[in-house]
Structure 1
Amino acid sequence: MVDFSEVLVPVEQEGTKAVVRNWLKQPGEIVAVDDPLVELETDKVTQEISAPAAGILDEIFMASGTDAAPGAVLCRIRLRPSTSRDDHAPAPLPPGETGNESGDRFSPAVRSAGEQYGIDPAEVVGTGRDGRVTRMDMDAALARNQKMERDKTPSSVSIPTSPDPGTLTRDQITHRSHIVAHTPMRLSIARHMLESATTAPHVTAIFEADFTAIIKHREKSKAAFAADGINLSYTAYIIAACVAAMRAVPEINSRWHDDHLEIFDDINIGVGMALGDKGLVVPVVRHVQDLSLAAIAARLQDLTNRGRAGGLTNADMRGGTFTISNHGVSGSLVAAPIIINQPQSAILGVGKMDKRVVVREVDGVDTIQIRPMAYVSLTIDHRALDAHQTNAWLTRFIETLEGWPA
């Protein structure tokens, strides 16, 4: 009797829609326990689904591009006798069946893309697990190459010859263009942003923060943190200041319901992380109200490292109650309104830190000083919150940053 093991779409997707992006194995191929089988993409992360058992990939039930509902069957694996999750050796193939050579570095889909695009996968930086090159990496490499070619070619407008230019119609003027297909992540982000903008009335308040105190503290402390393997970033201070502000105005850490406001006791802060042209992910630092600055920095460092390596999971993005958009890292001074990450009630924006001339009173005398300043904004859902709560929260947030003990 032949036994089978079904491979399912993960049940916990935090309300996002998963799409089958790319199959890494094909029917008839040998698979070992934990071999990557398929890539699923949501608005938050691309993840590889691995084989739960060793055997032979028997049948695929969802083609690439198919919406994958939580719990749905992706494929099934034909098991061999005594196969279990502890068996790491591939099962023997039936007569006449062949699989990939064990020395293959790239999946069939990646090799196929390489041949189609004329790109050597060995020259592409992989973002998959353990640095694996994925089909998305190949697509991104193609897009970069196409952009480089376009940049070399001046854009032009082709206008048909006419004896009387004044009689040209709109249809007679053509523009050069090209089509870039939306990724499932980009489409899902677009839907989420539109839903938030149409659901919640957005109101933004903008304050200015002096970063002098935390810069001094960081300069004094970063070596000791580094000795423990921790990178002490400015974002860690920003998260800690958010905790102090939440204690002063807990209503910011909330969710609107039609008949009540749900105020969260746990402060779970998501930090936006750009993935270039691929989109944006928001990993969450949980229970920050119970964490020291060192613990916040350590958890943030772990999420950042795994995000850059493509190692984040859906679990890393779940459960956020508040979000920080650190848009200043890309040079932006002010961004407003920053779209709220539904179903949260507010989002903090932090602009670029820049040296500016400010007036400070010293011994009763106004003085002109140069200070490291940044604009910070709080965008709220005006159904849940009002201006006095918004301004009180920002006031406490800035007091914490500017009054950081030496």
Structure 2
Amino acid sequence: MITWIRRNLFRSITDSILTVVSASILGFVVFQVFQFVFVTGRWEIIQVNLKILLVGRFPEEVMYLVGFSVLATCFSIASLASGANRTIETTQRLSGRLWELFQRFGLIIATSTFLIVLAGDLNAILFGAYVILSILGGRLFGRARRNTSLRKLPGWLWVTINALLPLILIFLTMGQAALEEWGGFLINFYLAVVSIALSFPLGVLLALGRRSTLPLLRWLCTAYIELLRGAPLFVLLLLAGVALEFFIPASIAPDAIFRAITVFTLFTAAYLAEVIRGGLQSIPKGQAEAGKALGLSTFKITFLITLPQALRNVIPAQIGQFISLFKDTTLAGVALSVLDLLNVGTAITKQDDYLGQGLIYESLAFVGLLFWVGSYVMSRESQRIEKKLGVGVR
């Protein structure tokens, strides 16, 4: 340990000065954060308004739909993540498996425990237990694909089956309450999940269309991609919120939530198309030539040989785009006047009990925590998938 410190931190006078200065700054920042979190921070504003921050004023009588949609999403994600692993490390010890699960889901468990403690009621504890059970059930269902007749299902059909249930429940939940009753992290969560699920297949089709040998299809896909990628997302959201009613009567115009989903889906699909097209270009031509030599059709060569390899090669870029989409959902609150988590977090500081007390820092810290946890977990899962699939390893 002492040898490592000398070689890496105090090798020269310059390194020693940089180490001391950096350690001093880091220590000061850590001390300030610790003092803010455990000493000076007034977190009662979060505890009192926790329900509003998470689900807004969603009707209590249909709150069960929100719970079912969240549980179905957890089940599907766990099922897909478990079903994607073709090999099972049976030689790994139980302690090793538990440590791996803790590394993957420890942050989510800690954040969920924090929210349950803030809520302080039995319903929150039961819901946390249901989430854990849904994740475990999803993992068992995903592993069953490798050991039962479910393994005969094509990959695209397996993904569709897992994605249909949460999407149906989410859309059903969206239709149960007026927009004025929506709010909080629930909006950001639904916008991200639905937009990711819809933009991915659209992005794949656009990427294939841009590489098509049909001139008209290639030109249309190229024009769409370049037009959407060249326009700012915030401007598109403003157009969806303001200019749409100039072309569609207000009586049949969709709600702001569905407008936001449409814009996020179309915008993200354009970026994903370019990411996937780059992955397709990275595949050697010999792969397609080998497929033709075996007598495979163009459709089978694309969806069985080149496209799976292309998607595997661009996993980091895809997940990066999904993380960006998740964080960009806060723009819907500004452009479409949706009471998302950021807007609610700002609004609660203007309540009579907290007005003028400078509690915006506590509110923004809570908002940033939820977005950071979601983004960090997606990033770590991306790295795990890359390692499992051997991305970058020859």
Q: Same fold (TM over 0.5)?
A: no
TM range (shorter): under 0.3
What TM-score, normalized by structure 2, do the two folds share? 0.20
Higher RCO structure, 1 or 2 (CA under 8 Å, sep 6+): 2
What TM-score, normalized by structure 1, do the two folds share? 0.19
Report which of the two has the higher share of helix. 2
Report which of the two has the higher share of strand. 1
